[in-house]
Structure 1
């Protein structure tokens, strides 16, 4: 079991980051998730990867509801006086990522989790439905609403977007 958990750590960390919005909280979330999995185990005949994502999501929801702090935990990079074109592009990318993280944080929990699993982790709709114990149609509708809302929130930040 430990080898399988080691194999899913990078995916689990990316998922945790997509939920929390910052690396420190993501690391804490992964640690708590792994503690729960190692303490309580994985039910028989359950895919470890799906179980880990489910436990991670549930831990995040519990902590989110208890503290309500993670929504404002996005770091913004500082602009330095002398920057090359490459540095400006890096800054613009980081700034765009901060806007995306802020927009993701405004989505309802269910939409954010599904968008993260599909877009960040590359899971299929069927895999998401199975891990979240909801119908595939619900995954599709929540994903559609999440994408639409995210696109609407990001319109002011798109390259070449008019006022």
Structure 2
């Protein structure tokens, strides 16, 4: 009789990725669905070559990716406009002195504006520290696709986050002064 792998030790990383992927409200459901599917299909997991711990982690992230993709196909969440007319997530009031909170909110809003394919690659490589090859295996795409999606995601994030800073800096700059970066 073989010993079942410890799925629980991967729980913190699965939760972190799920929260970044779908938000705090739906993250626990996605993690639970992932663990249920993993437990039900544990006989399909093969240790393979290399570190069994890392192979299990990649397999769990692959299951989560497929579950998330299926959920996205089944329901189309309403899109929130990111306009400057005082509505949407960019216009939420925040008490003064909470710069870290503002930075996290801006990062979350910028992440949410990325296409799902780019957001998944950015989170796997940037947050979960998967190699390009591991991310390609999890997403079932070629490594070149991972690299191009990651480049587009980073570029979009850079642009989006610099747009967040530019209007605020311009508003604080006295008339006739230039902002030097």
- Same fold by TM (over 0.5)? yes
Is contact 1:96-1:157 (8 Å) kept?
no
Point out where structure 1 has 5 or more consecutive residues left out of the alignment.
none
Q: What does residue 27 of structure 1 align with?
A: 28
106 and 33 in structure 1: CA distance in 2 versus 1, 3 angstrom threshold: same
| Residue-by-residue CA offset, 1:46-78 (whole Å, 9 max, x unaligned) | 521111101111111222232333865x7x976
**What is the alpha-carbon distance in structure 2 between the residues aligned to residue 7 and residue 161 of structure 1?**
44
Q: Superposed, which structure 2 residues align to 1:112-123 within 5 Å? A: 112-123=119-130
Q: 2:113 aligns with which of 106, 110, 126?
A: 106
Point out where structure 2 has 5 or more consecutive residues left out of the alignment.
49-54, 81-88, 172-181
70 and 95 in structure 1: CA distance in 2 versus 1, 3 angstrom threshold: farther
Q: 1:64 aligns with which of 67, 72, 80?
A: 72
145 and 50 in structure 1: CA distance in 2 versus 1, 3 angstrom threshold: same
| Residue-by-residue CA offset, 1:84-142 (whole Å, 9 max, x unaligned) | xxxx1xx2222222222222122121111000001111111121112222222211111
161 and 58 in structure 1: CA distance in 2 versus 1, 3 angstrom threshold: farther
**What is the alpha-carbon distance in structure 2 between the residues aligned to residue 43 and residue 71 of structure 1?**
37
**What is the alpha-carbon distance in structure 1 between the residues aligned to residue 104 and residue 32 of structure 2?**
24
Deviation at 1:3, TM superposition (A): 5.1
- How high is the TM-score relative to the length of structure 1? 0.80
71 and 101 in structure 1: CA distance in 2 versus 1, 3 angstrom threshold: farther
Larger radius of gyration: 2
Report the aligned-residue RMSD.
Answer: 2.7
Is contact 1:118-1:124 (8 Å) kept?
yes
Structure that is richer in helix per residue: 1
60 and 71 in structure 1: CA distance in 2 versus 1, 3 angstrom threshold: farther
Q: 1:79 aligns with which of 78, 81, 94?
A: 94
**What is the alpha-carbon distance in structure 2 between the residues aligned to residue 71 and residue 139 of structure 1?**
25
